[in-house]
Amino acid sequence: MTSDPYRPVVAVDVDGVLRVPNAKPGLEFRDGIITAEITMSRAAYPTLFHAMLRPDDPDEWTETHSFSGIGADWIRNLINRGVEVVWATTWLGHANTYFAPALGVPSLPVGVVDDGWSDWSSASWKSRQLGSNWAGRPLLWVDDVPVLYPEARLDRLRRPVDRALTRSFIVPNPTFGIRAADVQILDEWLALTSTEAGQRELRRQRQLQFRRRRDRFRRERWGTEAAYRRWRKYRRALNEVLAPDSVLGSTLTSELAEHEGNLSLAEIAFLRKEWGDRADPPAEELLRVIESVRRLEDDASTKP
């Protein structure tokens, strides 16, 4: 496996991405759908995140399966361009047995395995495994099931330096699988990851997104940038005399930010009684800390 930082990895799901429901009333006229007759066997059938076969099911069966022809073409094109493509599917290695021939692709590496760990969903199971591999390389994951919990998102599970080079793409309609519009979006992103300048642009875009989210959070939480900066000053000062995880510290700083630093001794004493504990400094000491910050603010506002 190459460590080329400009050679992306594409981890692709099967169901809802490449394999789609067979035609039925209302689905007869989907563009670009291909079909294949595939024989499956009980001896080579996945159990993780799949329904159990019944005892009276046959040992082998042949059925018609439908696929996104656009998706199949895209996978072949990626391989021809030198992109590393791996399976990220609950079919595990059986994807090579059953679906690779129908899609016209060679046997591909399997990016996720049944490692015995329990996860919330197939999406978080995949995300956990994908996030621990291919350090230093761009990683694109294409699936039809989103990760539900923020802490299980693929970008959060990769190294901080790799997060700007990480993308999870959810196919909009699993009934159609990958479509031409999806391919255009994905190829544009992959093109950026394949050059030094493109990767710089992706890092710039991620930083811009962070700043926008940060600014939006500050507006929603504190109303103005000035209120946020006031909160931060009081929080830093109170952290000198209160534990960083102190509930009293959080409550005091929120009240100070809302009331522009104006809290009386009686109000501080009340908050200490309600939210503090015995180890916290007395209200008088807390007031001295608050007044020291307030004096600094007053001095700064009077400077020419």
Q: What is the pLDDT of residues 247-303, one digit of tens each?
A: 999 999 988 888 888 899 999 999 999 999 988 999 999 999 999 998 887 666 665
Q: What is the DSSP letter of 161?
A: G
Q: What is the pLDDT of residues 34-85, one digit of tens each?
A: 999 999 999 999 988 888 888 888 999 999 999 999 999 999 999 999 999 9
pTM, 2 dp? 0.79
Q: What is the mean pLDDT of the chain?
A: 91
Predicted confidence at residue 29, as pLDDT, reads 63
- Residue 226: which pLDDT band, with cuts at 50, 70 and 90? confident
Both tokens assigned to 91: 């079919």
Predicted confidence at residue 303, as pLDDT, reads 58
Mean pLDDT for 231-258 is 90
Domain map (residue ranges) of the chain? 9-210, 223-302
Q: What is the pLDDT of residues 160-199, one digit of tens each?
A: 999 999 999 999 999 999 999 999 999 999 999 999 999 9
Please provide the distance, in angstroms rounded to a whole number, between the alpha carbons at the two ends of the chain: 62
Q: How many alpha carbons fall within 13 Å on the CB side of residue 212?
A: 6
Q: What is d(CA 147, CA 170) in angstroms, rounded to the nearest whole number? A: 10
Mean pLDDT for 229-241 is 90
Predicted confidence at residue 301, as pLDDT, reads 61
Phi-psi region of 75 (alpha: psi -120 to 50; beta: other; left: phi over 0): alpha
Cα four-point dihedral sign 34, 39, 45, 49:
positive
Predicted confidence at residue 79, as pLDDT, reads 98
Looking at per-residue pLDDT, the higher value among 228 and 39 belongs to 39
Please give the CATH number for the structural domain made up of 9-210.
3.40.50
Predicted confidence at residue 1, as pLDDT, reads 43
Flag whether pLDDT at 2 surpasses 80: no
Flag whether pLDDT at 3 surpasses 80: no
Pairing type for strands 19-20 and 60-68 reads: antiparallel
Q: What is d(CA 95, CA 277) in angstroms, rounded to the nearest whole number? A: 59
Predicted confidence at residue 302, as pLDDT, reads 60
Flag whether pLDDT at 27 surpasses 70: no
Flag whether pLDDT at 116 surpasses 80: no
Flag whether pLDDT at 222 surpasses 90: no
